[in-house]
Amino acid sequence: MSTPNTRRVVIEPLTRVEGHGKVTLLLDENNQVEQARLHIVEFRGFERFIQGRPFWELPVLVQRLCGICPVSHHLCAAKAVDGIVGAEDLPLTAEKMRRLMHYGQMYQSHALHFFYLASPDLLFGFDAPVEKRNVIGVIAEYPDLAVQGVMMRKFGQEVIKATAGKKVHGTGAIPGGINKNLSIEERDFLLQDMDKMVEWSRAAVRIAKDYTLDNLEAVAGFGSFDSNHLSLVRQDGAMDLYDGNLRAVDSVGDTIIDQVSPLDYLEVIAEEVRPWSYMKFPFLKSVGPEEGWYRVGPLARINTCDFIDTPEAEAARKDFLSLTEGQPSNVTMAYHWARMIEALHAAEKIQLLLHDADLQGEDLVADFGGRREEYVAILEAPRGTLLHHYKVDENDQVTMANLIVSTTCNNEPMNRTVQKIASDSISGAPEITEGLLNNIEVGIRAYDPCLSCATHALGQMPLEVTLVDRQGRLIDRLARPE
């Protein structure tokens, strides 16, 4: 039982996010938020049960973590396996096919999030009636926009199908390369809609931008706080979603780490475990667990890169950063705008690749060099930086896996967002309204969290809800959610 003067408010389930989670707030007698926690109540255990499997299975096996961005896991595992077989330089066709797959993934996932999950909040307002504030409401009131969202997602999935063989859970990337090229028929099929996709992406950037600017006063502080930002960048500092080295900047853009090879991630990143969540809490070691947490994903990527190597997205990036005079944006709700800039970037990249004859090449797999027993790969998944670290034995069996997924990186930021929003909008209110509760979901939703991906590690604790007082003393515990 809670103490007589405290009230426990549970928001469960969180809606319109990938996976399942819930939020627990502890209110004191004055309805002030004493504590806010995002609980992840899913459990995967991939790191444990892939032990013993042959390493070439990994790209297809680990992508089953998720049905929304399996391509990210597929490609990240493939890159790690490339390292294990000693495939140093992939043939151009293989590298570009993988990139095409990845941009298709980025495009469909961002479209899904923006149009299906987030747009109801942005179009109707956070306090709009719940029966209207959903994708059906968007279809009813903004049918053209809804169709665009559906068609954009479909296009991204068609790109995935053309490169991986299936729209979900394909098999394209194999150790050292890819198992197919892009046929002329597949290319021409995709090119039919390409111009429209770029045009719609452009329009989506405009919607996200207009929303942010029109509501700047309201969104600027909404769940926002200064934070570090981390992502991959290319050698020249360009945004690179598929490959690169780690860079982290602080809230004003000063460099914390730069051009750190994925192989050296353990030197710069550590993970903290807290007893109340299946999700770990990663942090930059040089800054420490208290202040070293960082944000990943579209907002972080826009903040960390020096430029984007496609013209329209680069112009949109400059436009985005002009609001903060070139410094990193720490506005949580600006994730949406950043996400649509990336969707535009992905569309531009897909367009370039579809006109690249290398995709019809026949050289699909690299020669294998020296075999390694351990490798680390990182790529930028739609939701942020994704890391796969594997060790294999002399029989080709996996002996260790460590997956640090983007939602895990955003764990602390999401908790901060919940705390901030709860403190700002719920504290002191005698009634907890649907709109107020939804503010918390809107804040979490900005990160586009994938809760199923983020709970892949094997934990020991049973699922439980805990209540603690200010001194951290346990005052209530439930073995299962109510």
Pick 162 or 256: Cβ nearer another protein: 162
Pick 81 or 347: Cβ nearer another protein: 81
The beta strand positions in 285-334, using DSSP E, are 294-295
The beta strand positions in 167-262, using DSSP E, are 173-174, 177-178, 228-233, 245-249, 255-260
What torsion, rounded to 10 degrees, do the Cα atoms 118, 317, 406, 38 define?
Answer: -50
Residue 165 binds another protein (CB under 8 A): yes
Query: Per the structure block, which two tokens stand in for 84?
Result: 């294990």
Pick 46 or 107: Cβ nearer another protein: 46
Q: How far is the CB of 178 from another protein (least distance, A)?
A: 9
Q: How far is the CB of 60 from another protein (least distance, A)?
A: 5
Q: If binding means CB under 8 A, how many residues of this protein chain bind another protein? A: 24
Pick 28 or 57: Cβ nearer another protein: 57
Residue 61 binds another protein (CB under 8 A): yes
Q: How far is the CB of 217 from another protein (least distance, A)?
A: 48
Residue 57 binds another protein (CB under 8 A): yes
Contact 421, 439 (CB under 8 A): yes
- What is the C-alpha to C-alpha distance for residues 259 and 236, in angstroms, rounded to an integer? 10
Residue 171 binds another protein (CB under 8 A): yes
**Within 10 A of 292 (CB to CB), how many other CB atoms are there?**
21
**Within 10 A of 261 (CB to CB), how many other CB atoms are there?**
13
> Which residue in 19, 120, 156, 175 binds another protein (CB under 8 A)?
175
Q: How far is the CB of 182 from another protein (least distance, A)?
A: 11
> Which residue in 27, 40, 60, 66 binds another protein (CB under 8 A)?
60
Pick 166 or 477: Cβ nearer another protein: 166
> Which residue in 7, 20, 22, 53 binds another protein (CB under 8 A)?
53
What torsion, rounded to 10 degrees, do the Cα atoms 154, 455, 400, 412 define?
Answer: 100
Q: Which amino acid is at 108?
A: Q
Q: How far is the CB of 172 from another protein (least distance, A)?
A: 7
Binding mask 74-93 for another protein (x = CB under 8 A): -----------x--------
Sign of the CA dihedral running 307, 308, 312, 318: negative
- Please give the DSSP secondary-structure letter assigned to residue 288: -
> Which residue in 111, 117, 164, 379 binds another protein (CB under 8 A)?
164
208: which residues sit within 8 A by CB, 6+ positions away? Answer: 114, 122, 336, 337, 339, 340
Query: Per the structure block, which two tokens stand in for 152?
Result: 């954009």
Q: Which of residues 378-397 bind another protein (CB under 8 A)?
A: 395-397
Instruction: Candidates 56-64, 228-236, 327-335, 459-467: pick the segment binding another protein (CB under 8 A).
Output: 56-64
> Which residue in 37, 99, 180, 339 binds another protein (CB under 8 A)?
180
Instruction: Candidates 49-57, 216-224, 285-293, 445-453: pick the segment binding another protein (CB under 8 A).
Output: 49-57
Pick 187 or 301: Cβ nearer another protein: 187
Q: Which of residues 432-451 bind another protein (CB under 8 A)?
A: none
Contact 205, 341 (CB under 8 A): yes
Contact 115, 255 (CB under 8 A): no
Q: Three-state DSSP class for 379? A: strand
Q: How far is the CB of 429 from another protein (least distance, A)?
A: 47
Residue 170 binds another protein (CB under 8 A): yes
Distances (CA, A) of 476 to 393, 419, 464, 468: 45, 20, 10, 7
- What is the C-alpha to C-alpha distance for residues 475 and 465, in angstroms, rounded to an integer? 11
Contact 100, 394 (CB under 8 A): no
- What is the C-alpha to C-alpha distance for residues 120 and 122, in angstroms, rounded to an integer? 6
> Which residue in 45, 54, 129, 288 binds another protein (CB under 8 A)?
54
Q: How far is the CB of 401 from another protein (least distance, A)?
A: 14
| Residues at the contact surface with another protein, assessed by CB under 8 A | 52-54, 56-57, 59-61, 64, 85, 164-166, 169-172, 174-175, 179-180, 395-397
